[in-house]
Amino acid sequence: MSGVKQVTVTNEDDDIRLDRWFKRHYPELSYGRLEKLLRKGQIRLDGKRAKSNERIAAGQVVRVPPFGEDGVKPINKKEEAHLGEHEIEEVRSWVLYRDEDVIVINKPAGLPTQGGTGIKRHLDGLLHALKFDKTEKPRLCHRLDKDTSGVLVLARSAAAAAILTKAFKSKDARKLYWALTVKAPNPKDGKVFQPIAKHPSWKGERMVIDADEGQDARTLYRTIESTGNAAAWVALEPRTGRTHQLRVHCAYLKTPIQGDGKYGGQDAYLTGDGVSKKMHLHARRIQIPSPDGVGVIDVTAPIPDHMKRSWDFFGFDVKTEDADELFDLSQKVTATYKNHD
């Protein structure tokens, strides 16, 4: 069938129900029509028939039919957006690394990774600019929040996508983030092991700490520099891949990320004109085994301009020794379980 997509489940969507996966990525598809497509076998999971309540795993492939043929308006009116020369040049300028199997880009802050209701411009719709010598556009292997910038891995084939997605799921892929937090963490270095669940009554995508229903969520952190207790430059390494994990865990520490009003409210904004109100969360570095089985791909992304201005304002030096170092997983660090309420 023309227009059928084969979409690889990313690590962020691991262990969610199939119907919730469609609600997240294809919100215009009603539940009734989803059930009809499943009954007709037009939606499949790893080539097999599936049920709406079936839980999916990272690395699995969802067959997504062209909804328009079943009376459903597709989110994107065109299968492939027209990209002008200047836009292609812009997208290609984001490339930090490219080989036969992988492309790593520096995603700009403010650009959604995937489309949805009311979203016209998103990364997935721009990937045709990154085909280069391939016949197919590269595939997303994981996601970054709209307002989070930094390293993002794309697979240049279905085989590479399966290998890379498995690496994210098995924690063979390691990611280091930089954040500017309002107030400094106490203790300044540690870890947060707090389960996360979707907010039960929030209409949009919002997560909460939930010891009963939440999924395991683990974050390591260390303070690189601080300005007394007013603000801090914090390095974070997620050891699980839950939605909004770093944002929720920073808010739990009572040190929300600058610009993250969703989880920090008014406390997430430093006063004064020297610091942008944009989100200050950047995927600084990624280390992932190469799909060809030879070596490790290790890429670092420059911080965006609004964070660079904040760093200059506070006198933080991006070349600070050890700022880009991944955490030593063999060392014991202080656990943070304290209830700050």
> What amino acid positions are annotated as catalytic residues?
145
Spell out where 199-255 has E strands.
207-209, 218-226, 231-238
Distance CA 290, CA 181 (A): 33
Going by C-beta distance under 8 Å and a sequence separation of 6 or more, which residues neighbour residue 133?
none
Distance CA 219, CA 209 (A): 13
79, 112, 155, 290 alpha-carbon torsion, rounded to 10°: 180
Which candidate, 150, 202, 327, 182, places its Cα nearest to that of 257?
182
